[in-house]
Amino acid sequence: MAEIMTAREAVERYIKTGTQVCWGGFSYTRRPFTITREVIRQRDRIQHHFCTMNGGASVEEALAANDLVSRMETTYVGLEGIQPVAYSIRRRIQDGSIPLFEDYSNYGYAARTIAGRFGWPFAPMMAELGSDIPEYDTFGKAGLRGKNADGSWIDPRIPPKKFAVIDDPFDGWGLRPHAFDGGDTTANKTNAIDRTRESDKYTGNKGVKVLLVPPVLPEVTVIRAQRVAIDGTVRMEGILGPDAEQAMCAKVLIVECEQIVPSDELRATPELNHLPAHITTAIVEQPFGGYPSAVPNYYDYDWDWFVSYGRLNRKSKEEVKEWWTKHVVDTKDDWDYLQRIVGMNRLFELRATPGYGYRADLKRPM
Amino acid sequence: MSNHDWSRAMRAIWLLNTIEVELSHLGIPVLRVPPTLRDLGDVFAQGTMSEQDRQLIEDELTRAHAILAQVVGELQEGMTQIESLLQKQPMTLITEDVAESTRSVVWQKL
- Per-residue three-class SS string for chain A: CCEECCHHHHHHHHCCCCCEEEECCECCECCCHHHHHHHHHCHHHHCCEEEEECCCCHHHHHHHHCCCEEEEEECCCCECCCECCCHHHHHHHHCCCCCEEEECCHHHHHHHHHHHHHCCCCEEECCCCCCCHHHCCHHHHCCCCCECCCCCECCCCCCCCCCEEEECCCCCHHHCCCCCCCCCCHHHHHHCHHHHHHCCCCCCCCCCEEEEECCCCCCEEEEEEEEEECCCCEECCCCCCCHHHHHHHCCEEEEEEEEEECHHHHHCCHHHCCECHHHCCEEEECCCCCCCCEECCCECCCHHHHHHHHHHCCCCHHHHHHHHHHHHHCCCCHHHHHHHHHCHHHHHHCECCCCCCCCCCCCCCC
pLDDT of residue A257: 97
Q: Is B58 on the interface with A (CB under 8 A)?
A: no
- Winning range, highest mean pLDDT, from A132-141, A215-224, B13-22, B64-73: A215-224
Over residues A73-92, the pLDDT tens digits come to 999 888 877 888 999 999 99
Question: A65: closest CA among A330, A292, A312?
Answer: A312
How many other C-beta atoms can be found within 10 angstroms of the C-beta atom of residue A81? 11
Q: What is the pLDDT of residue B11?
A: 92
- pLDDT surpasses 80 at B94: no
Query: Whose CA is closest to A50, among A23, A75, A30?
Result: A23
- Whole-number pLDDT of residue B95: 44
Q: Does B22 contact chain A (CB < 8 Å)?
A: no
Q: What does the pLDDT read at residue A68?
A: 98
Q: Residue A156: what residue type? A: P
A269–chain B Cβ distance below 8 A for any pair: yes
Predicted confidence at residue B90, as pLDDT, reads 58
- When CB atoms are compared, the residue of B29, B56, B105 closest to A348 is B56
The residue of chain B with its CA nearest to that of A355 is B109
Question: What digits encode the pLDDT tens for the residues A2-21?
Answer: 999 999 999 999 999 999 99
Cβ contacts of A340 on chain B, cutoff 8 Å: none
Q: Mean per-residue pLDDT for A39-54?
A: 96
- CA–CA gap between residue A197 and residue A206 (Å, rounded): 6
Q: Is B35 on the interface with A (CB under 8 A)?
A: no
pLDDT of residue B77: 92
**B78 three-state secondary structure:** helix
Mean pLDDT for B80-89 is 87
Among A29, A31, A60, CA closest to A224: A31
- Segment A242-248 shows an average pLDDT of 96
Mean of all residue pLDDT scores within chain A: 92
pLDDT at res. A172: 79
DSSP B99: P
- Give the per-residue pLDDT at A355: 81
B59 touches chain A (CB under 8 A): yes
The model's confidence at residue A1, banded by pLDDT at 50, 70 and 90, is confident
Provide the shortest C-alpha distance from residue A35 to chain B (in Å). Answer: 25
- Global pTM value: 0.90
Q: Do B24 and A268 touch (CB under 8 A)?
A: yes
Cβ of A125: how many Cβ atoms within 10 Å? 20
Q: How far apart are CA A114 and CA A109, in angstroms?
A: 9
For residue B109, pLDDT over 70 is answered with no
User: Would you state the pLDDT for residue B66?
Assistant: 92
Side chain identity at A180, as an amino acid letter? F
pLDDT surpasses 50 at B110: no
pLDDT 10s digits, A347-358? 999 999 888 899
Residue partners of A31: CB distance under 8 A and separation at least 6 = A23, A24, A25, A56, A58, A59, A224, A290, A293
Mean pLDDT value across residues A35-45: 98
Q: Is the pLDDT of residue A178 over 90?
A: no
Q: Is the pLDDT of residue A179 over 50?
A: no
Contact A355 B25 (CB under 8 A): no
pLDDT for res A196: 73
Nearest beta carbon to residue B28 from set A268, A344, A355? A268
pLDDT computed for residue A182 by the predictor: 54
Q: Which fold has domain A3-105+217-349?
A: Glutaconate Coenzyme A-transferase (3.40.1080)
Question: A116-125, A197-206, A303-312, A327-336: lowest mean pLDDT where?
Answer: A197-206
* Amino acid B100: pLDDT: 59
Which of left, alpha, beta for A102 (phi over 0: left; psi -120 to 50: alpha)? Answer: beta
**Is B24 within 8 Å of chain A by CB?**
yes
For B50, nearest residue in chain A (alpha carbons): A344
A114's CB contacts (< 8 A; 6+ apart) are: A120, A123, A242, A245
Whether B56 sits inside 8 A of A345 (CB atoms) is yes
pLDDT in the model for residue A188 = 53
B62: enclosing H helix or E strand: helix B51-86
**Residue B2 DSSP code:** -
The mean pLDDT of A295-315, rounded to a whole number, is: 95
Interface pTM, i.e. ipTM = 0.76
For residue B28, list chain A residues with Cβ-Cβ distance below 8 A.
Answer: 262, 264-265, 268
Whole-number pLDDT of residue A181: 52
Does pLDDT of B91 surpass 60? no
More confident residue, A105 or A171: A105
Contact B53 A354 (CB under 8 A): no
Question: With contact defined as beta carbons under 8 Å apart, do A105 and A131 qualify?
Answer: yes
Q: Stretch B57-80: mean pLDDT, rounded? A: 92
Does the beta carbon of B28 lie under 8 angstroms from any beta carbon of chain A?
A: yes
DSSP letters along B23-44, please? Answer: HHHHHHHHHTHHHHHHHHHHHH
Instruction: Report CB contact under 8 Å: B32, A262.
Output: yes
Q: Is the CB of residue B106 less than 8 Å away from at least one CB of chain A?
A: yes
Distance CA A24, CA A13 (A): 19
A344: nearest CA partner in chain B: B53
- Chain A residues with beta carbon closer than 8 angstroms to that of B67: 354
Instruction: Please report residues of A whose CB lies closer than 8 A to that of B70.
Output: none
Nearest-Cα residue of chain A relative to residue B110: A355
Q: Which of A82-91, A158-167, A291-300 has the lowest mean pLDDT?
A: A82-91
Report the length, in residues, of chain A: 366
Residues of each domain in chain A carrying CATH 3.40.1080.10 = 3-105+217-349
Q: Please check whether residue B30 touches A, CB under 8 A.
A: no
With 70 as the cut, is the pLDDT of residue A105 above it? yes
**More reliable by pLDDT, B88 or A106:** A106
Query: Cis link prior to B9 (omega < 30° from 0)?
Result: no
Q: Which of B24, B49, B51, B56 to mutate to test the interface with A (most CBs of A within 10 A)?
A: B56
Residue that wins the pLDDT comparison between A192 and A159: A159
Question: B28, A262: Cβ pair inside 8 Å?
Answer: yes
